[in-house]
């Protein structure tokens, strides 16, 4: 075996070992800490079901070339569970493949499990109408309701286990550094009263119990209240930092929210719809 070939094999081995190494992810009041180093990064939102799987490598590399450090995406309940307890992770729903590509590109990943996700979703509450349990007697959505919480926990556990098996969480050597549960609950919490507060507390406990080994997050902020724009604490920047969508894409296959609702989620994203 030639000296040059040996050197090449050593370089490949080092590259593979570094890309698969476990990463410790922590956080404090000031932000996220990865392997003891505080990180501030630009994060891009790319929703994988809103594009084809053939588009993913190009979208991810263009995001990286644009200075992005992490890719985040919702997990859409309705497309992954089109019928109650019948799951689909094929084609452009291969979420594990998305994060594998993110990892291969040298980027971090953020998984937003929800399972309620907002964002002009594929159904008014992602998954509920498609799965068929929205008409279940006694069910109330996104509140302290045992029937709904059981369905939510079942789907969340399904996703978390799938990600664990694929070794996609950072401490497993994967790219995912943060996982989100629920979404934008601050818009509606007052309407639910005490039951809403109990529900969001349950969400937090349920997420922690999943033992995902990365920081769990709950996004409870309100959206589009720009007339009352100010930092929510003295350490926050007085600027808008959440122009989230890097590639909006399209709701394919007649999966729009309803009649006369656009299939586009462009949002003036840096990468056009197609």
Which domains does the chain possess?
21-247 (3.20.20.80)
Handedness of CA 237, 228, 28, 184 (dihedral sign): negative
Contact yes or no for 82/88 (Cβ under 8 A): yes
Q: What pLDDT does residue 105 have?
A: 98
Q: What pLDDT does residue 223 have?
A: 56
Residue 271 clears pLDDT 80, i.e. is over it: yes
- For 104, residues 6+ apart whose C-beta sits below 8 A from its C-beta are 19
- DSSP letter at 38? E
C-alpha to C-alpha distance for 106 and 118, rounded to whole angstroms: 28
DSSP codes of every residue in 186-253: GGTHHHHHHHHHHHHHHHHHHHHHT--SS-EEE----SS-GGG---SSTTS-SS-----EEE--B--S
- pLDDT tens track for 201-230: 999 999 999 999 999 998 766 555 555 667
pLDDT greater at residue 242 or residue 71: 71
Q: How confident is the model at residue 257 (pLDDT cuts 50, 70, 90)?
A: low
- Max Cα–Cα distance, the chain, nearest Å: 72
Token output for 248: 């909006």
pTM of the model: 0.87
Mean pLDDT of the region 252-267: 77
Sheet holding 43-46, edge to edge: 216-218, 176-181, 108-114, 70-74, 43-46, 245-247
Q: How confident is the model at residue 15 (pLDDT cuts 50, 70, 90)?
A: very low
pLDDT greater at residue 189 or residue 112: 112
Would you please indicate which residues are annotated as catalytic (active-site) residues? 184, 242
pLDDT greater at residue 17 or residue 133: 133
Helix (H/G/I), strand (E/B), else coil: 142: coil
Q: What pLDDT does residue 222 have?
A: 55
What percent of the chain is predicted at pLDDT more than 90? Answer: 57
């Amino acid at each position: 075996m030639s000296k040059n070939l040996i050197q090449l094999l050593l370089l490949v081995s080092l590259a593979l070992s570094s890309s698969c190494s476990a990463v410790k992810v922590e956080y404090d009041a000031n932000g996220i800490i990865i392997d003891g180093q505080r990180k501030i990064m630009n994060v891009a939102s790319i929703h994988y079901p809103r594009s084809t799987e053939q588009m993913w490598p190009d979208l991810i590399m263009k995001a990286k070339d644009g200075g992005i450090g992490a890719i985040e995406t919702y997990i859409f309940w309705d497309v992954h569970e089109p019928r109650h307890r019948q799951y689909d992770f094929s084609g452009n729903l291969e979420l594990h493949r998305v994060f594998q590509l993110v990892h291969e590109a040298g980027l971090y990943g953020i998984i937003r499990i929800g399972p309620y996700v907002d964002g002009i979703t594929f159904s008014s509450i992602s998954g509920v109408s498609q799965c068929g349990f929205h008409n279940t007697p006694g069910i109330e959505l996104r509140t302290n309701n045992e029937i709904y919480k059981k369905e939510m926990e079942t789907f969340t556990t399904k996703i978390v286990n799938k990600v664990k098996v694929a070794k996609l969480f950072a401490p497993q050597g994967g790219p995912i550094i943060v996982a989100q549960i629920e979404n934008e609950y601050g818009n509606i919490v007052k309407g639910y009263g005490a039951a809403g507060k109990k529900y969001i507390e349950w969400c937090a406990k349920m997420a922690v119990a999943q033992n995902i080994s990365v920081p769990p997050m709950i996004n409870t902020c309100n959206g589009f209240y720009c007339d009352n724009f100010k930092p929510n604490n003295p350490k926050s920047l007085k600027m808008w930092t959440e122009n989230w969508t890097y590639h909006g894409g399209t709701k394919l296959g007649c999966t729009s929210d309803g009649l006369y609702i656009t299939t586009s989620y462009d949002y003036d994203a840096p990468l056009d719809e197609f």
